[in-house]
Amino acid sequence: MTPSDTDTVTEQFRKMVSIAGCRHQFPLLRQYVNGKPLVYFDNAATSQKPQAVIDAMMRYYQESNSNIHRGVHSLSERATQSYEEVRHKVRAFLNARDHREIVFVRGATEAINLVAHSFGRLALREGDEILISGMEHHSNIVPWQILCEERHARLHVIPITDAGELDLEAFPALLTERTRILAITHVSNALGTVNPIKQLIAQAHAKGIPVLVDGAQAVPHMHVDVQDLDCDFYAFSAHKMFGPTGVGVLYAKSRWLEEMPPYQGGGDMIKSVTFEKTIYNDPPYKFEAGTPNIGGCIGLGAALDYLRELNMDAIRRFEDDLLAYATARILTVPGVRIIGTAREKAGVLSFVMEGIHPHDIGTVLDVEGVAIRTGHHCAQPVVQRFGLPATARASFAFYNTKEEVDAFIKALHKAREVLG
């Protein structure tokens, strides 16, 4: 081991310790539910917020609240500056080339709808094809279905294997000369599968097909570099990455934002308006009609600062360790079957228990203070793919602990005891 290796290991250890120590910065986690310490394992649905995010939003409303891009007064300038600073923070977080490639939206769902609407109108003709995968969230299925119906285009689906991985052998043939966009999730919310999107993007680009990546389940768990991935669009929500609800990001390459027509009309997205002719604003403002969620954006900025401090690579290592522990432990519970056994996973443990419906597991766990999600996880086709009406899903964040996994496993034994 060279001295520099030792330094790296020491640095890694320091980061691991700082992650383990961050739990107390999340006030919501300090509570009892049904008389038991809360074990929050529903992070794929939404994450909890550190005090720093809550404070930043409160401070904004107490000290700087004002409308942006409008006023000549000091408050408005201050609010505008804070809002635009977050755009630069997002650029750095994703390693985008330019801050003007960052569009603020309501969440990943709106980001995908924006692309389906604007890019779809630009590029899709009758008989064209859109390619998605069999493990998409409804938010990366339904906008494309609506578009296909309008344009008389066809939706094609990359099949998935029994392990919950994309069928990479079937994939190349699905990229045809009529495919206008590939829209695919980075990490599956129902299975936890991490898709090899860099490879998929390269294959799609080789045929001139642009790619949208749904990153909602990836950004809380791993470092994302949009230039390295070379994706055309990347969508995510703030609330799944320790920021507030109601704000999200669409990253898009400049050339698309220049070419695409506006998504919504209104204030702030225009340069000049007369009844005869309106001149649209430049990107990204062209896509930000109306007063945005300024307070939410400030919260997102605080969440990005928080994550940068913790370091995404350290978070990934910490969570991989936690997921491996939970996976090994759950397999000791009689009758448990894990749904989604991909080689590379992040943050999600989906499972069923023989003879017990997931909804009943969820109720018993809740009584034990353990919050999990049960159902189809807004990804009905993937749950149906495994011949199931529903699964139970534990999903993790860096503030979770092995002790919590132990409490979760104990509660699963209790479910077996109560439900036979």
Partner 1 sequence: MTALNELYQQVILDHNKAPRNFRKMEDATKRVEGYNPLCGDHFTVYVKVDGDRIVDVSFEGAGCAISKASASVMSAMVKSRTVAEAEELFGEFHRLVKGELQGEEEIERLGKLAAFAGVSEFPARVKCASLAWHTLHAALSSSEQSVSTE
Q: Which residues contact 35 (CB under 8 A, 6 or more apart)?
A: 369
Q: How far is the CB of 375 from partner 1 (least distance, A)?
A: 5
**Nearest distance, CB of residue 301 and partner 1, angstroms:** 34
Q: Is 177 exposed, middle or buried (0-12, 13-18, 19+ CB in 10 A)?
A: exposed
- Rounded Cα–Cα distance for residues 187 and 218 (Å): 5
CB of 374 to partner 1, least distance (A): 7
d(CA 395, CA 350): 8
Active-site residue, from 148, 231, 297, 378: 378
Q: How far is CA 188 from CA 59, 74, 203, 332, 360, in A?
A: 35, 44, 20, 25, 24
Q: Could you tell me which of 177, 158, 155, 175 has the C-alpha nearest to residue 166?
A: 158
For 297-339, list the strands marked E by DSSP.
336-339
Task: Rank residues 307 and 390 by Cβ distance to partner 1 and give the closer one.
Answer: 390
> Minimum Å distance from CB 376 to partner 1?
6
| Residue with smaller CB distance to partner 1, 45 or 54 | 45
CB nearer to partner 1: give 17 or 418. Answer: 418
Shortest Å, Cβ 345 to partner 1: 23
Please classify residue 52 by burial: count the beta carbons closer than 10 Å to its beta carbon, then call 0-12 exposed, 13-18 middle and 19+ buried: middle
Q: How far is the CB of 366 from partner 1 (least distance, A)?
A: 8
Q: Which of 157, 419 has the CB closer to partner 1?
A: 419
Give the nearer residue to partner 1 in terms of CB position, either 201 or 390.
Answer: 390
Active-site residue, 378 included: yes
Are 16 and 317 spatial neighbours (Cβ–Cβ below 8 Å)? yes
CA distances from 313 to 45, 219, 222, 223 (A): 22, 11, 6, 6
3-state secondary structure of 214: strand
Closest CA to 242 of 370, 51, 107, 87: 51
In this structure, are residues 348 and 12 in contact, taking their beta carbons and an 8 Å threshold?
no
Distance (Å, rounded) from C-alpha 149 to C-alpha 127? 11
The alpha-helical segments, DSSP class H, found in 192-240 are: 197-206, 226-229
CB of 371 to partner 1, least distance (A): 12
Q: Which residue has the tokens 């860096």?
A: 398
Which residue in the block uniquely carries the two structure tokens 């999340």? 26
- Give whichever of 322 and 383 is closer to partner 1, judged by the CB atom: 383
Secondary structure class of 191 (helix, strand, coil): coil
Written as six digits, the tokens of 174 are 């699905």
C-alpha 195/C-alpha 342 separation (Å) is 9
Nearer to partner 1, 47 or 374 (CB): 374
Burial of 125 (0-12, 13-18, 19+ CB in 10 A): exposed
Task: Please give the residue ranges that form the binding site for partner 1 (CB under 8 A).
Answer: 356-360, 363-364, 367, 374-376, 383, 389-390, 418-420
Residue whose CB is less far from partner 1, 106 or 376: 376
Catalytic residues: 378
